[in-house]
Amino acid sequence: MIKAGIVGGTGYTGVELMRCLSRHPEADLVAVTSRTEQGKPVSGIFPSLRGVVDLTFSDPESGALSHCDVVFFATPSGTAMHQAPSLLEAGVKVIDLSADYRLRDKEVWEHWYDLKHASPDYLSEAVYGLPEVNRTEIAGARLVANPGCYPTVIQLGFLPLLEKDLVQTDSLIADAKSGVSGAGRNTSLATQFCETGESFSAYSADGHRHLPEIKQGLGSLSHGEIELVFVPHLLPIIRGIHATLYARLKEPGVDLHGLFTRRYESEHFVDVLPPGVHPDTASVCGSNTCRISVFQPQGGSTAVILAVEDNLVKGAAGQALQNMNIMYGLDEVTGLTQSALWP
């Protein structure tokens, strides 16, 4: 059994990790840490895990994590970069769900996260954990940077077009909307129900922290310089991301549906829908699936890609387990075969 630990188990990503790990047949969750809730039973904070996770929150400094095979960081950005190096040197594999190791350029990271990076030497070692692109590298990694929720769905949506050099890379547009759980489990006024219910708004239109991550990923696939307009929005729902992506085709007459179907036909967690079908966030709620549709309105020069995912699963915890499975040579679907919740 793989002995797993979680740093930061009191957030939405942390509880989703516990839910996913609890049904994984090859993993045993042995430690969950929280500075604020240490000593309290997990089920006391999350009643949904009563009878499922029989652990108490422990102090991150207790030493329990060093006895794990793999540790997941479900913490805000700026935490893993301090604690991950000692675990790595102790022989523990690390999957970081924060942004601490996603960007290769230290200066770019420090600009967008307004912090000094505490362990920049590991930036070049960290493998970006998008399995549909970096499966081979993930298999041999000891440090995986789990992609962000917006970057996952946007990269999967643009990927087939960029790989085949079919679109103009200087005019990409990502219009993406997320449920409020993407903001984390905090007391921010902006994410309280009375503020978000019956409302819809954009935010960070002048630059979101996920922008450099998305451009870095798309740039590695592209045959030209990436220029991307990315505008995130807040939806009055709990879970889910819906991304509408626009790209100008270089030539007409491309079989877009065939292109996407062929690219993802062997990917269990990417579902290309039949022509004319529009994906919705409810169809992926609670699952590790990204569903995609592709259109070419009026047969024109613009490709429109619609992509949806659960921001807490394929956009976070589920993808982290998918990466763990790859790192340990397991079938990628192990522990992740549950269908979406409906209704």
Looking at residue 218, its pLDDT comes to 98
Reported as a single tens digit per residue, the pLDDT across 254-284 is: 999 999 999 999 999 999 999 999 999 999 9
pLDDT at 331 over 70: yes
Looking at residue 190, its pLDDT comes to 80
Looking at residue 193, its pLDDT comes to 79
Confidence of residue 187 (pLDDT cuts 50, 70, 90): low
Query: With contact defined as beta carbons under 8 Å apart, do 72 and 17 qualify?
Result: yes
- Number of Cβ within 10 Å of residue 192's Cβ equals 11
Looking at residue 72, its pLDDT comes to 98
- Which of 106, 112, 81 minimizes the C-alpha distance to 94? 81
Annotated catalytic residue: which of 20, 149, 285, 290? 149
Query: C-alpha angle with apex 69: 96 to 319, nearest 5 degrees?
Result: 40
Looking at residue 223, its pLDDT comes to 82
Considering the chain, what percentage of its residues have pLDDT values greater than 90?
Answer: 93
pLDDT at 116 over 80: yes
Cis peptide preceding 131, ω within 30 of 0: no
Reported as a single tens digit per residue, the pLDDT across 15-32 is: 999 999 999 999 999 999
CA distance 272 to 293: 6
Q: Give exposure, 26-45, as e/b (b: 16+ Cβ within 10 Å).
A: ebebbbbbbeebeeeebbeb
Strand extents, DSSP E, 34-155: 57-58, 70-73, 93-96, 127-128, 143-145
- Which of 234, 144, 224, 130 minimizes the C-alpha distance to 182? 234
Looking at residue 55, its pLDDT comes to 97
Average pLDDT of the chain is 96
| Mean pLDDT (whole number) for 171-193 | 89
The verdict on whether 20 is a catalytic residue reads no
pLDDT at 136 over 90: yes
Reported as a single tens digit per residue, the pLDDT across 225-251 is: 899 999 999 999 999 999 999 999 999
| Mean pLDDT (whole number) for 284-289 | 98
